[in-house]
Amino acid sequence: MSNNEADSVRIAKLEQSVIGLSARMDGFGSQLNVMTEKLNVIGRPNYMLFIGIVGLTLTLIGGGYFIVQLSIKTEMAPVIAKSEISEVDRAKLNSAMTVVADRISDNRAELSKQGQQIVELETQVRATSQISNLQVSYEHTLKSILWQEMKGYALPGALYFPDVSMPKPGSTK
């Protein structure tokens, strides 16, 4: 077999490999498009979560202000008719404390819900990172196959860095 025939056989094999790799890349590209669309949906800002956090903050500030105002009114009450004012204030304070307790329980439930949403987002981000790692690994595998086919020896590892430093004067490096 002459060199030209050997070269043509090698070229034919390479063309078949390239066609096979092209088909694989097309399939991978369609899968990547589907994953990209899903990630775009996940990556949108969660405005409801932001509004909930702002609402919770305002509720806590308002509740604290309300309690402070009640305590100021109680301390400044006139000494005359102390028992009547005391009973009225106590009733107001009890109703205010009931309202505050209700708000606190609502806020705790909302925080729990938001915590679950954050866990879900973290899980989705972790999955995205794993997909990205798989893509890079797949690309390196394809490059290794092409390198092996074209050069006839294995592609250096991903952590291979050639030594390009200048030799010291007088060394044999």
State pLDDT tens for residues 138-172: 888 888 888 888 888 887 776 766 677 777 777 66
| 8 within a domain of the structure (yes/no) | yes
CA-to-CA distance for 147 and 136, rounded, in angstroms?
Answer: 16
% residues pLDDT > 70 (the chain) = 84
- Model confidence band, residue 129 (pLDDT cutoffs 50, 70, 90): confident
Question: Domain count of the chain?
Answer: 2
Q: What is the pTM of this model?
A: 0.31
What DSSP state is assigned to residue 44? S
Same structural domain, 65 and 117: yes
Same structural domain, 39 and 57: no
Same structural domain, 134 and 67: yes
| 13 within a domain of the structure (yes/no) | yes
pLDDT tens-digit series, residues 61-85: 988 888 887 776 666 655 545 666 6
Domain membership of residue 82 as a residue range: 45-148
Same structural domain, 29 and 64: no
Same structural domain, 36 and 72: no
Same structural domain, 36 and 50: no
pLDDT tens-digit series, residues 21-51: 778 877 777 887 888 887 777 767 777 888 8
The answer to whether residue 137 scores a pLDDT higher than 80 is yes
Same structural domain, 26 and 70: no
CA-to-CA distance for 86 and 93, rounded, in angstroms?
Answer: 10
Same structural domain, 3 and 52: no
Cβ-contact 14, 145 below 8 angstroms: no
| 6 within a domain of the structure (yes/no) | yes
Distance (Å) of CA 133 to CA 6, 76, 120, 144: 39, 66, 20, 17
